[in-house]
Structure 1
Amino acid sequence: MPPFSAKRPSPSVSTTSLAVSSFHERRQILEEEHKWLLKQIKRKRTELKKFLHEMRSLATEIFQRGNPLYKKLIELDTEIHGLFEDILTKKKFGKKSQKDILGVYHSLQYMGLLSPKFDEDDEDEELDDVFNNSSDEFNPNEEENFFNKNAQNSHQENFDDFSSERSEKSPESRQIRQTFLKLASMFHPDKVMDSETKMHHNEIMKELNRAYQEGDIARLLEIERQHHLQEEIDMKNATVSEIERLCLQRERDNQLLKNQYETLKKELRIARNTPEGEMVKDYRACQKEGIDAIGEILSSLENQVKGIENIRDFVQNFRDKKITLKQFLQGPSSKANHSQEKEEEMLEMLLEELLRLEL
């Protein structure tokens, strides 16, 4: 009687089953990672947009509420420059006295209490040249454009080096382009006849174009997922090569999503570290303490206007011969000096806030 021999499964069949199972688990892990990355990118994108909106809103409110005081500062600045022009060009002084008066004038500019109107490398230039190149007047109708332009420029400068990391010929850009072209081909409005469907495809194409221009691979993949366009296969009957191909594709997608997630985090860090971003953080801290931050800035601005008005009155008194040259060169009384020091501190605070908006 022949010996009993148990029937064993074919080694090739066993190996294939294990491989399919392994790739199936790998694909499940990649899909979970894919969903997590899409969720995190959406959250980070929302956080960044909210922060940038808060930056713009806060700066615009400061400009709008402080505009009358800011205009007053510019008017006073122009008036004081005009007073010094009268003193230096229409009155006769000795060479030393004229140099001393010019020294006071330059000191006010060095201290930031007046806008600069002289060449620091050539202090012996003609007095007529001192008053050239006067600053432009502030146009309240352009305040929003002014902020948007300067904030955008400041923001763009921070991102120039970062955005250059992604060349249009890089594998990343090519993959984004391939995804975009695939979706654009599916949703091209000219491929449908129904007016309602055509309108729907038009809206999708707008989203696709915007996502492509911004390099937003997450949004492209979200659209692909929303419309059930991502490739699926029958896992029971799938071959190893089919599952492996899908796994490799998902790995490439996830790497792009990881890059985008890191980009968004970096952009948010940069935004928070800009002067405007610091202002938002200070504003939030004041709100927690129950402090009206904008009210404090405006109050400081009002005090600085008063301080500049005192300077204007002092220079005007000298021009109108109400005080002597000696008194003028000595400056205001000690009490006034003490007040002026306080005003200068407040003015410095204001200038810092205004520079935050102008950088």
Structure 2
Amino acid sequence: MRILTLVGTIIAQFALGSVYTWSLFNAGLADKLNIPVDNVAFSFGILSLSLAVASSISGKLQERFGVTRVTIAAGVMMGAALLLTSHTSNTAMLYLCAGFLLGFADGTGYLMTMSNCVRWFPERKGTISALAIGAYGLGSLGFKYINLALLEHSGLSQTFVFWGVIAAALVIVGGLLMTDAPMQSSNSTQTNSDNDFSLRQAMSRPQFWMLAVIFLTVCMSGLYVIGVAKDIGEQYANLSFAIAANAVAVIAMANLGGRLMLGVLSDKIARIRVVSIALLASIAGIGLLLFTEMTMTNFYIALGCIAFSFGGTITVYPSLVSDFFGLNNLTKNYGAIYLGFGIGSLLGSLIAAAFGGFAATFYVILGLLVLSLLMSLTVKTPQLHTQAA
């Protein structure tokens, strides 16, 4: 039963990861709607925020309706959102359909299915997270070629229709294979389920907020740098368009490598130490951008370090949160922390606008990363029977 759940989770995660091909459609939608590309790209920021909000409430939906029904509903909503996007005629409709609805569908399925799968394998939490979230990352790569082929042969509007049908079908099939994970018994030797915190109990502990700040910082640094990597290469590092554009491939490989390597490593050493390693990698990457001459090699290494850190942290964090606050309420507890993904996706751009450019933003990110590293080295696992500090 848990093997079928794992297979279903991987299938669904692959389809859900397809939203990260959004940049393929920016130019075409800008021409269709006769608006600047930046306005179209902002829909992805809305998507990220909506995804994070949906993730934070998906645990309650699972409790009421079960993982299969909620996953099927997410697949149907994802297909409907993309179908409506194919008929978009103005910016408001674009933000509603491709931003809010698509992000909400994706977030509802993403965190819930992954957390449910992790609870089925308490003895291999890091490895299972790596498989599930690795499938999510591979979805962006696989659908890049699917959507490029569709754009070439079917045009913009029809591509959204076909994308919606394919993604919805995969998510629904995945949902049908899933079963809700059983509650962990208090006498289990493989889990610390006698230390299960409710969301309210978790949020009353300083450790919750320390983990939340660390997660937000890594998401902000990763999403900001990944989102403007080509611009950093051309405008900040003064590299050619070709070199800057190739950064996409470097980021994809480093991101996937971080997910797989740090995910597996987190089953062998303390997960908070894995997060410390990820933070050191990101600090090294930002340091290269700030304090070294921007050659092609240094540029690629810097982006690789940041993408490796981001991918690895995203993978390890669900299991890390379960180490701190238990498995049984993982979806709700991690869902609240996962709001940092949506906030971080916007915060980097806001900091860049407020402080004026790449270098100032990198200094802010570096300071937050150092603070997060110190917190990762000092935070201790809370005990449920102790009073909140």
- Return the TM-score normalized by structure 2: 0.20
Larger Rg: 1
Normalised to the residue count of structure 1, the TM-score between the two structures is 0.22
Whose RCO is larger (CA < 8 A, sep 6+)?
Answer: 1
Q: Give the structure with the higher percent helix.
A: 2
